[in-house]
Amino acid sequence: MIKRRTVLHGTVAAAAMLGAPSILHAQTKTLKITTWGGKWGEIMKGTVLPAFEKEFKCTVQADQAFPYVPKLQASPKNDPLYDVLHTNSNEQWNCVVQGLVLDKISAKDVPNIADVYPWSVSDKIVGVAIFTSAIGLGFRTDKGLAKPSSWKDLADPKLAGARGSYIIPVNSLGQCHLMMLGKVYGKGLQDLDAAYKALEQLKPIKLVDFTGQMEKMLLAGEVSMGVIHDSGVYRYDGQNQPVDFASPSEGVLALEQVLNVTPGSKVKELAFAYIDYMLRPDVQKLLAEGVWYSTANKKVKLDAKYDAKLLTTEAKVATLIQPDWKWYNARKEDIDARVTRLLRG
Amino acid sequence: MTKTFDGRVVAVDGVTLDIAAGEFFSLLGPSGCGKTTSLRMIAGFERPDSGRIHVGGRDITDVAVHKRDMGMVFQSYALFPHRTVAENVAFGLRMREIAKSEIERRVKAALAQVALTGLETRKPSQLSGGQQQRVALARALVVEPPVLLCDEPLGALDRKLRQQMQFELKELQRRLGVTLVFVTHDQEEALAMSDRIAVMNHGRVEQVGAPTEIYERPRTRFVADFIGEINILEEGGRARALRPEKIRLVADGARVSGTVETANFLGGSTLLRVRSGDGRSFLVRETHAGERASRRPGDVVGLAWSDSDAVLLEG
Amino acid sequence: MSAPRNRQPFDIGRAAYLAVNGLMLFFLLVPIAIVLVFALNPTPYISFPPVGVSLRWFQKFFAGADFMNALTLSLWVAACVLVLSVLIGGACALALARGHLPGRAFLTAFFMSPLMLPAILTGLALFQAYLLAGIGRPVWGLIMAHTLVAVPYVIRTTLAVLHNFDRRIEEAAAVLGAGPVRVFFEVTLPLIRPGVFAGGVFAFIVSFDQFPVSLFLVVPKGETLPVVLFNYMKFDLDGAIAAASMVSILLALSVVLVLERLIGLKAYVKL
C-alpha cells in the first residue's frame, strides 16, 4: 500500500519535472510545502490542508521532516523542493541571503496582508509572518516564586542550577535571549558585550537544544524558571500543571511562524493563494486556538480564554520585540564561538 | 611436466613419471620440492605449462578436475564440515547420480571398511583426527577411483596413530588394487609403504626406484643425504655414500681409526660419531644382536667397510 | 571425611575481567532501562521515581497512523535492504577474496568507503544526485541508499569467513565430481552462509535504525520510523517516543532471533 502510494507520488513529480503540457493538464497541480509536526501538524493534515486541496483543486505535499533549509539548499533553484517554506524568521533570513526565498510579499499577491498587524510584514520579516509566539519566562507556581516581572528575575541567586535556557548556537530562542540580555543589561539588543557578561552571571544554568525540552524540564520540575515561548506553557492550560508564563516588563521577543515562496516555484500563484488562505480569519482562529499562537490577522476574534492570554490587541502587540536576524546571522559564527567558550568554562 | 608460478618460481621442472597400475607410488622430498604441485597437476588443480598427463592411455591434461574420476585425500582431510559422516562419504556418489539405495549400500560398506560403522550421523568436528582421516579415505575410495592421490594424508596424526594408519592404508590399497600416488616429506613413511619412490628436489626428480634401491643405492648426494644417515666419502674428487650400518668396528685391519665422540643409544642400535685421526667425522651404527655394546665417548676404535658398500654418487 | 577443600586463590585478573564485563553490560543496558521506565511512566516527561505504570504511550504509538505507516515502511525497506545487501555484499566479498582482481586492496577500501563517509553526507549527496537525475525520491532510492551503507557490513562478515575458508574443501568436492556450480552451491555457499547472514542481520538493523541517510531521502508521508520519531520529538517530547523505541528494540531483536532460528547463525565456521 505504501509502495503504491509512493509510486503515485513519483509519477506526479516526474510529470512535473518533464513539464509535458499534456500530462500537466491531466494532473492536478501539486503544492510542495513545509510545515510543523505535533499538534499543529495534526490540525494541518486533519483539517486545514484537505480543505485547501478541495477549494483549490490541488494536491499539497507537506514535508514535516527536518531539516528543511538544507534540503531546499540542495535542490535545484529552478526546480526547488518546496514552493512554500514555513519556518522561523531566523532561517528565512538565512534563505533570503542565498536567494532561496522571495524578499517581500505584498498585498497584491496575498490580499489578506491588508488585515495584518505591522509585525507580520515589518522590515524584520522576509515573507509573511502568519503567527507569532511571545518569548518570555516560564516558571513553576509551586516553588514559592513570585511571578517574574523582569528578565532580571532569572538571575535571582535562588535559581542557581534551577534556571533554564537554550544552547545558543542551535536554538533561536537562546539567540533571542542573548539579544534580550543586551537590551536589559546594556545599551540594546545589539549590545553583545553586555549580553555576554549577563549570560555569564546566569551560570549555573540548564541548557537544552530542542525548544520542546524546556516544557518538559519545567513540567518535571528540573527547572524552576526558564526562557520559553508562551505557547509552550499555555498548551498545558486546563491540565492542572503547576507552570505559568510571565511577560517581562522589558518586553517579549517574537518567535514568528513565517511563510515564504521560493523564486523557482512552478506554481507561484497557488503558493500565494496558500499564504492568503493561511491568513484567513477562520484558519487563523482554528490554528491559534489549537496551539496557542498569536494571530497575524487583526480581524480574528479568539475565544475569551485565548483572547486573554495571546497578543490580540494593538497594546499587547506593542510589547513584542522583533529581533534583527539579518544582523544576528551575519555575526552568528563569532557569537557561537564566544558563548560556547563562555558557557564551557 | 613443467609448472612455473608467477613466471619466476619454477615449481616443477621437467618431471617425467611413469606410474604402473595398482602401484603404491610416493613422491618424496623436502617442502618446496614440487611434489605437491606435481600431485595437484595430476588432480587437475594446476595446469602444466608444458608436458602432458596420461591415465591409462587417456590424455587428461585438458580434462577438468571434476571429470578426472580420481580420489584424493588431503592433509587437512578437507571434510565438509556442514555434512555428516555419511553425507561426506556419499558426496562423490551423489555427484555421479547413483541411485539412492545404491549410495546407501556403498556408504555403509565404505564406512565398514574403515571401521567407522555407527558414526554415520556425526559431524566431522565431533570426530578425532584419526576418525576424520578415515572418513576422508572412505569418501575418496567409495567412488572406486582407479587413481587415489594422497597429499601428506598422515601428516597431522601423532606418531603412534600414523604408524597404524600406514599399515591400514597400505593394506587397503593392496586389497583394492588402486593406483596410489602418495606425497610425503617423511622418508620413513615413504620407505615403509611404497612400491616405488620418486625423490624430488628443486622441482626435479633425483631418483626413482624401489625403497631398498633408493636406500642402498642412492644415485645422488641429495638422495643419499635425504634418506637415513649417511657418510659421504670424498676420494679423489669423487663422492661415495656409505651407510653407517655398513661400517664395522674392528680391532685389526681398520681402514680408519678414530675416537668415539658421542654414542646415541637408539634402542635397537647405537649411533656412534667417530672422529678420525685426519679430522673426518664418521657415523657408525652398531646393532645389538647379542649383548649390548659398550662403546663410550673417548674409546679408540677401528673402522672397516667393503668397497662395494661405498656407493659412487653422480656429479 | 570432609577433607579441607583447596580454597581458590583470589585471582585479581579474573576479578578485573568480571568487573569490566559487568560495567560494559551495565552501560549497554542502562539506556534501555531508562527508555523502558520512560515508556511506562504516565507523565509526559521523565520523572524519577516513576509515578506509575501505564501503557498509554504504547497505545498512542500503535494508534498513531503516522507511526504505523512509518513502522511498516521501515520494516519493508529494511527487509529489501537485507536481501539486496546479502546478494551484493556476498558477491563482492567473493570477488574480492577469490577473483584475483588487480588492486584488491583498493577495491576493498572502495567498497568499505560508505562506512568512512559521514552518513549524513551520503544522504545529502544521494539526495542531490537523485534530484539532478530527475528521479525524485522514490522508495527504491531510499532502499538503494540504505543498501549502500549496509553492503560493507555484509562484505566484512563474509570476507572474515572467506579468510578462514579452507579451499581444499572445495577442491575435495571438485575431485569427487562436482563442477564449479555444484561446488558453489553444495560447499561454498553453505560454508559462507553464516558470515553472509550475520552481515544481513547487520544490514537489516543498519537500515531499520538508519537516520542520517534517510533524513534527506524520505518524502512527505513516506518517512521511516527514525525520521518520524526525530520530528515527533521536536514537537511532542513524550513517552510515545520511548514506547516507539521499545517497540523498535523488540522488533529488531525478534528479527535477529527469527533469522537465527531460520538460518542458524550459530556458525560451524568460526567468524
Q: Residues C112-135: what's their mean pLDDT?
A: 89
Shared-domain flag, residues B188 and B252: no
Do A208 and A59 share a structural domain? Answer: no
- CA C227/CA A138 separation, integer angstroms: 30
pLDDT digits (tens, 9 = 90+) for C164-196: 888 999 999 999 999 999 999 999 999 998 889
Distance from A19 to chain C by nearest Cα, in Å? Answer: 12
CA distance B241 to B307: 11
Residue B10: the pLDDT is 59
Measured N-to-C along each axis, helices C56-63 and C239-263 cross at an angle, to the nearest 10 degrees, of 70
Question: Residues of chain B with pLDDT > 90: what percent?
Answer: 41
Is residue A204 reached through a cis peptide bond, with omega within 30 degrees of 0 on the bond before it? yes
Residues contacting B57, CB < 8 A, separation 6+: none
Q: Are residues B191 and B237 in the same domain?
A: no
Determine whether the interchain pair B78/C172 forms a contact, defined as Cβ–Cβ distance below 8 Å.
Answer: yes
B239 and B114 in one domain?
no
Q: How confident is the model at residue B159 (pLDDT cuts 50, 70, 90)?
A: confident
Domains of chain C, first to last? 10-54 (no CATH), 58-263 (1.10.3720.10)
Q: Three cell numbers at B261?
A: 665422540
Q: H/E element holding A53? A: helix A49-56
User: Is B222 part of a structural domain of the chain?
Assistant: no
The answer as to whether A320 is a domain residue is no
Specify the range with the lowest mean pLDDT, choosing from A257-261, C72-76, C167-171, C231-235. Answer: C231-235
Query: How many other C-beta atoms are found inside a 10 Å radius of the C-beta of residue A148?
Result: 22
In this predicted structure, what is the pLDDT of residue A12?
Answer: 40
Band of residue A10 on the pLDDT scale cut at 50, 70, 90 = very low
Angle between helices C139-163 and C104-116 (to 10 degrees): 130
**A317: in domain:** no
| B226 belongs to a structural domain | no
Residue A152's pLDDT is: 96
* Averaged pLDDT of chain B: 87
For residue A273, what is its C-alpha cell? 493563494
Half-sphere exposure for C63 (CA within 13 Å, toward CB): 7
Q: Is the pLDDT of residue A292 over 90?
A: yes
A45 and A92 part of one domain: yes
CB B223 within 8 A of CB B311: no
**Number of independent structural domains in chain B:** 2
Q: Supply the pLDDT for residue A40.
A: 92
**pLDDT of amino acid A13:** 41
A334 and A202 assigned to the same domain? yes
pLDDT tens, residue by residue, B135-154: 999 999 999 999 999 998 88
Looking at the fold, whether A264 and A162 belong to one and the same domain comes out as no
The reply to whether B68 and B106 lie within a common domain is yes
| Residue percentage of chain A with pLDDT more than 70 | 92
- The beta-carbon neighbor of B95 closest among C166, C178, C191 is C178
Residue B74 to residue C171, Cβ atoms within 8 A: yes
Could you tell me if B96 and B55 lie in one domain? yes
Residue B202 and residue B13 in contact, taking contact as beta carbons nearer than 8 Å:
yes
A22 and A161 housed in the same domain? no
Positive or negative, the Cα torsion across C117, C121, C123, C127? negative
Q: Check whether residue B86 and residue B156 sit in a common domain.
A: yes
Which pLDDT belongs to residue B203?
86
B269-276 vs B256-265, strand pairing mode: antiparallel
Neighboring chain B residues of C265 at a CB cutoff of 8 Å? none
Residues A100, A231: contact at Cβ < 8 Å?
no
**Which residues of C have a CB under 8 Å from any CB of A?**
43-47, 69, 72-73, 76, 124, 127-128, 131-132, 134-136, 138-139, 215-216, 218-223, 227-228, 230-237
What's the mean pLDDT when you consider all of chain A? 90
Say whether both B62 and B149 belong to one domain.
Answer: yes
Residues C226-231 have a mean pLDDT of 90
Claim to verify: residue B28 and residue B114 sit in the same structural domain: yes
**In a domain? residue B227:** no
Confidence band of C10 (pLDDT split at 50, 70, 90): confident
Shortest distance, CA C212 to any CA of chain A (angstroms): 11
pLDDT (tens digit, 9 = 90+) per residue, B24-47?
999 999 988 889 988 999 999 988
B211 and B149 within one domain:
yes
Distance, in Å, from the CA atom of C193 to the CA atom of B273, rounded to the nearest integer, reads 59
Give the integer Cα–Cα distance in Å for A16 and A11: 9
Which residues of chain B make contact with C176, given a CB cutoff of 8 A?
66, 91-92, 95, 139-140, 143
Q: Is 80 exceeded by the pLDDT of residue A20?
A: no
CB contact under 8 A, C176 and B143: yes
Task: Residue B61: count other Cβ atoms within 10 Å of its Cβ.
Answer: 13
Q: Check pLDDT > 70 for residue C200.
A: yes
pLDDT digits (tens, 9 = 90+) for A93-150: 999 999 999 999 999 999 999 999 999 999 999 999 999 999 999 999 999 899 999 9
Asked if residue B133 belongs to a domain, the reply is yes
Domain span at residue A185 reads 133-254+325-344
Higher pLDDT, B281 or B289: B281
Q: pTM for the complete prediction? A: 0.79
Chain C: closest CA distance from residue A328 (Å): 24
Contact: C47, A6; criterion CB under 8 Å: no
Range of the domain at B248: 232-312
One-letter amino acid of A310 = L
- Which of C168, C176, C178 lies nearest to residue B76, judging by beta carbons? C168
Assess if residue A34 is contained within a domain.
yes
CA distance A39 to A62: 15
In a domain, A140, yes or no: yes
Same domain, A123 and A261: yes
Q: Identify the pLDDT of residue B254.
A: 85
**Interval B52-58 mean pLDDT:** 84
CATH number of the domain where residue B82 is located? 3.40.50.300
**Do residue A240 and residue A259 come from a single domain?**
no
pLDDT at residue number B291: 59
**A316 inside domain:** no
Decide: A and C in contact? Rule: 3+ Cβ pairs under 8 Å: yes
Residue A111 lies in a domain: yes
DSSP classification of residue A47: I
A138 in the same domain as A88: no
Residue A292 lies in a domain: yes
Give residue-wise pLDDT tens across range A22-46: 444 446 899 999 999 888 999 999 9
Provide the pLDDT confidence category of residue C144 given band limits of 50, 70 and 90. very high
Cα–Cα separations (whole angstroms), residue B157 to B75, B133, B140, B162, C168 = 10, 9, 19, 6, 18
A79 and A177 assigned to the same domain: no
Contact B84, B72 (CB under 8 A): no
Residue whose C-alpha cell reads 521532516 in the numeric block: A65
- Asked if A37 is an interface residue toward chain C (Cβ–Cβ < 8 A), one would say yes
Residue B221 lies in a domain: no
pLDDT band at residue B92, thresholds of 50, 70 and 90? very high
pLDDT of B293 > 70? The answer is no
**Which residues, in sequence order, are bridge partners of residue C109?**
none
Radius of gyration of chain B (CA): 24
Chain A partners of C76 at a C-beta cutoff of 8 Å? 2-3
Whether A228 contacts A151, CB under 8 Å: no
Q: Give me the pLDDT at residue C11, please.
A: 83
Contacts of A34 in chain C (CB under 8 A): none
Range with the poorest average pLDDT among A160-164, A228-232, A233-237, B156-160: B156-160
Q: Please, which residues have CB within 8 angstroms of residue C74's CB and are 6 or more apart in sequence?
A: C207, C208, C224, C225, C226
- How much is the average pLDDT of A243-260? 96
For the cut 70, the answer to whether the pLDDT of residue B240 exceeds it is yes
Residues A208 and A86 in one domain: no
Share of chain C above pLDDT 70, in %: 94
- Consecutive H or E run containing B91: helix B85-95
Taking an 8 Å cut-off on Cβ atoms, the answer to whether C187 and B80 are in contact is yes
Same domain, B141 and B289: no
B43: which 3 cell numbers? 588432480
Asked whether residue A314 is assigned to any structural domain, the reply reads no
Q: With cut-offs at 50, 70 and 90, classify the pLDDT of residue C265.
A: low
Residues of chain C in contact with residue A37, where contact means CB-CB under 8 angstroms, are 231-232, 234-236
Contacts of C158 (CB under 8 A, 6+ apart): C89, C90, C93, C94, C192, C195, C196, C199
- The neighbour count for residue A53, using CB atoms within 10 Å, is 15
What's the pLDDT tens digit per position in A153-202?
Answer: 999 999 999 999 999 999 999 999 999 999 999 999 999 999 999 999 99
- Indicate whether C2 pLDDT > 80: no
Tally of domains in chain A: 2
CA-CA-CA-CA torsion sign (B207, B210, B211, B212): negative
Q: What is the domain-level CATH number for residue A97? A: 3.40.190.10
Question: Looking at CA atoms only, how far is residue A175 from chain C in angstroms?
Answer: 18
| The pLDDT value given to residue A293 | 96
pLDDT at C21 > cutoff 60 = yes
Nearest to A222 by CA among A162, A304, A290: A162
**What's the gap in Å between the CA of A66 and the closest CA on chain C?**
7
Whether residue B147 is found in the same domain as residue B9: yes
Lowest-confidence region among A5-14, A183-192, A221-230, B184-193: A5-14
Which one of B158, B185, B216 terminates a domain?
B216
For A131-135, B286-290, C62-66, which range has the lowest pLDDT when averaged over its residues? B286-290
Q: For cell 600414523, what's the residue?
A: B162
Does A88 share its domain with A203? no
Three-class SS of chain C: CCCCCCCCCCCHHHHHHHHHHHHHHHHHHHHHHHHHHHHHCCCCCCCCCCCCCCCHHHHHHHHCHHHHHHHHHHHHHHHHHHHHHHHHHHHHHHHHHHCCCCCHHHHHHHHHHHHHCCHHHHHHHHHHHHHHHCCCCCHHHHHHHHHHHHHHHHHHHHHHHHHCCCHHHHHHHHHCCCCHHHHHHHHHHHHHHHHHHHHHHHHHHHHHCCCHHHHHHCECCECCHHHHHHHHHHHCCCHHHHHHHHHHHHHHHHHHHHHHHHHCCCCCCCC
pLDDT the model gives residue C239 = 85
Q: Which three cell numbers stand for residue B40?
A: 595437484
Say which range, A213-222, A230-239, B158-167, has the weakest mean pLDDT: B158-167
Q: Are residues B209 and B261 in the same domain?
A: no
- pLDDT given for residue C117 in this prediction: 87
